[in-house]
């Protein structure tokens, strides 16, 4: 029996939880110097979250292989302000958080962000640029130093590896492993994560997933190694090669399992 969630509403007005039998079914601001920082009850309905977006959408997601439950919340828009760091400004969006995820001790929570593309540029010019960059990447599959990534972090994308393009039920995107830091730190199991950055075929929604992963070849934490300062770029190059050489099954969770969950996302 698989755990499948269907979220409905005037853009997710109703969050319908349930288990359907046999159904398939956060570029950061570059830092000036590269330092980083529940068994479920089976329910048929969870509380309605009042929406303010006009568009209607249903979301279906099969998370059964990596989590026990999923919750959803509506995150209010955060208008830009001189008193607010630019990376915190953004439109209203939906946030899905996986409960009982395979990895508990990690810097990041296992979450999926659903952004309305039409509101990105108005709310945050940088977010609009990133959405445009993602669309270009999906069309050309030509990568640069940084890959498009939302949400915006106050840290720098220090590497990307294990890159693959994935189709999901409602569109296409790119998945890769990455780590964001504000200083020179080792690639480690406390900070490395799998991300998916995708667009629905109608270009109405931007889907961004942050899912913690670990690998036995990596240290468990981000303890500073002063030797990295001698040749940090060389170190990153070696780590990219090392991680690209690892099989999908050597990671926890298995990257193929995460791909399958992402592929099951349907927004209609």
Where does the pLDDT of residue 158 fall: very low under 50, low under 70, confident under 90, or very high at 90 and above? very high
Lowest pLDDT segment from 49-58, 144-153, 229-238: 49-58
Lowest pLDDT segment from 29-43, 75-89, 97-111, 183-197: 29-43
> Does residue 152 sit in helix, strand or coil?
coil
Q: Residue 116's beta-bridge partner residues?
A: 205
Does pLDDT of 23 surpass 60? Answer: no
Place of tokens 């997933």: 209
Q: What is the dihedral of CA 221, 97, 64, 207, to 10 degrees?
A: -100
DSSP for 33-76, please give it.
------PPPP-S---------SS---EEEE-TTT-SEEEEEEEP
What is the pLDDT, as a whole number, of residue 192? 98
- Beta strands 205-212 and 111-116: pairing type? antiparallel
Where does the pLDDT of residue 42 fall: very low under 50, low under 70, confident under 90, or very high at 90 and above? very low
| Cβ neighbours for 252, distance < 8 A, ≥ 6 positions apart | 102, 103, 213, 214, 215
- Better-scored residue on pLDDT, 118 or 227: 118
* CA distance linking residue 30 with residue 65, whole number of Å: 35
Lowest pLDDT segment from 123-132, 218-227, 239-248: 218-227
* CA distance linking residue 200 with residue 206, whole number of Å: 7
What is the pLDDT, as a whole number, of residue 223? 85
Does pLDDT of 35 surpass 90? Answer: no
Q: CA–CA distance from 187 to each of 19, 111, 116, 182 (Å)?
A: 37, 21, 32, 13
- Better-scored residue on pLDDT, 205 or 80: 205
What is the pLDDT, as a whole number, of residue 88? 92
Q: CA–CA distance from 224 to each of 35, 153, 170, 186, 193 (Å)?
A: 9, 21, 42, 7, 19
What does the longest C-alpha to C-alpha distance in the chain come to? 56
Where does the pLDDT of residue 6 fall: very low under 50, low under 70, confident under 90, or very high at 90 and above? low
- Better-scored residue on pLDDT, 13 or 205: 205
What is the pLDDT, as a whole number, of residue 243? 98
Instruction: Give the closest residue to 208 by CA, choosing from 158, 165, 174.
Output: 174
Where does the pLDDT of residue 225 fall: very low under 50, low under 70, confident under 90, or very high at 90 and above? confident
Where does the pLDDT of residue 126 fall: very low under 50, low under 70, confident under 90, or very high at 90 and above? very high
Task: Count each helix (H run) and each strand (E run) in the chain, helices first.
Answer: 4, 11
What is the pLDDT, as a whole number, of residue 7? 52
- Beta strands 59-62 and 4-8: pairing type? antiparallel
Does pLDDT of 21 surpass 60? Answer: no
What is the pLDDT, as a whole number, of residue 173? 98
What is the pLDDT, as a whole number, of residue 268? 79
What is the pLDDT, as a whole number, of residue 54? 34
């Amino acid at each position: 029996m698989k755990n499948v969630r269907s979220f409905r509403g005037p853009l997710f007005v109703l969050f319908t939880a349930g288990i359907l039998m046999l159904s398939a079914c956060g570029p950061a601001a570059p830092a000036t110097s590269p330092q980083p920082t529940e068994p479920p009850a089976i329910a048929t309905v969870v509380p309605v979250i009042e929406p303010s977006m006009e568009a209607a959408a249903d979301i279906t997601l099969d998370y059964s292989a990596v989590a026990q439950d999923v919750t959803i919340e509506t995150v209010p828009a955060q208008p830009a302000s001189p008193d607010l760091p630019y990376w915190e400004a953004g439109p209203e969006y939906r946030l899905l958080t996986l409960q009982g995820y395979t990895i508990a001790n990690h810097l990041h929570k296992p979450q999926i962000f659903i952004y309305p593309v039409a509101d990105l540029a108005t709310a945050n010019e940088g977010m609009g640029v990133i959405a445009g960059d993602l669309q270009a990447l999906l069309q050309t599959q030509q990568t640069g130093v940084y890959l498009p990534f939302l949400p915006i972090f106050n840290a720098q994308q220090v590497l990307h590896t294990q890159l693959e393009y994935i189709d999901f039920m409602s569109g296409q995107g790119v998945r890769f492993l990455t780590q964001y830091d504000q200083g020179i730190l080792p690639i480690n199991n406390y900070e490395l994560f799998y991300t998916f950055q995708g667009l629905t075929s109608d270009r109405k929604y931007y889907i961004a997933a942050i899912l913690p992963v670990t690998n036995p070849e990596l240290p468990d934490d981000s303890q500073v190694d002063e030797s990295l300062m001698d040749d940090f770029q060389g170190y990153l190059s070696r780590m990219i090669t090392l991680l690209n050489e690892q099989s999908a099954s050597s990671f926890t969770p298995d990257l193929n399992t995460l791909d399958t969950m992402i592929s099951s996302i349907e927004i209609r």
